[in-house]
């Protein structure tokens, strides 16, 4: 699982960091209308491997030891963080994940978003913990997200008037890009409300 690039370049000099109008190199395809737009859920990423083992996404900060049996996928030069997977059995999410497995039909290898009352303040309002396959959303949301604009101003206005955390675009060749509502500067958020 690779870190998905943000559609627009982040300005790390602002706190919190927000995006600029400059497109992140390699993400121009989104503005060209390529790729499928999907809902970005506000949870935590987990994965069911082809051998039936569950893993939790884990970032390891600079100077910290990775957990036992950690599998690094990439290293972020800008932040010094390692991004990878730890066995779900060792994760702080293990108990919540076990509940989600019972409440879901997640049995195919792939990545899922762990969502529910004890995850990130539960902004999506789930009554119980569930596993949502990445790229899935109800038809009405898929239709809405599929019609989202693909320019900076349009996306800012559109995202700030929706209940979604953001959008993830999937190109047929495997590339992805994302954008969250909170990526926009506070001044833009105030103008949109």
H-helix or E-strand spanning residue 37: strand 36-40
Provide the residue ranges of all domains of the chain, joining segments of one domain with +: 8-192
pLDDT confidence of residue 120 = 93
Structure pTM?
Answer: 0.84
What is the tens place of the pLDDT at every residue in 15-42? 788 999 999 999 999 999 999 999 999 9
Indicate the pLDDT class of residue 52, thresholds 50, 70 and 90. Answer: very high
The HSE-up count of residue 114 (CA atoms within 13 Å, CB side) is 25
- E strands of 96-142, at which residues? 110-115, 130-133
pLDDT confidence of residue 179 = 97
């Amino acid at each position: 699982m690779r870190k998905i690039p943000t559609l627009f370049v982040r300005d790390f000099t602002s706190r919190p960091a927000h995006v600029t109008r400059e497109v992140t190199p390699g993400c121009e395809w989104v503005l060209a209308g390529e790729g499928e737009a999907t809902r970005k859920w506000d949870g935590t990423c987990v994965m069911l491997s082809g051998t039936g083992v569950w893993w939790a996404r884990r970032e390891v900060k600079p100077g910290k030891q990775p957990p036992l049996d950690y599998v690094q996928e990439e290293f972020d030069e800008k932040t010094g963080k390692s991004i990878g997977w730890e066995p779900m059995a060792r994760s702080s999410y293990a108990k919540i994940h076990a509940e989600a497995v019972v409440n879901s039909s997640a049995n195919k290898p792939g990545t899922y978003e762990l969502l529910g009352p004890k995850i990130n303040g539960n902004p999506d309002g789930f009554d119980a913990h569930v596993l949502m396959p990445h790229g899935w959303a109800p038809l009405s949301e898929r239709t809405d997200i599929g019609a989202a604009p693909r320019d900076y101003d349009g996306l800012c206005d559109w995202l700030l008037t929706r209940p979604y955390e953001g959008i993830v675009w999937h190109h047929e060749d495997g590339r992805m890009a994302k954008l969250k509502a909170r990526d926009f500067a506070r001044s833009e958020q105030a103008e949109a409300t």
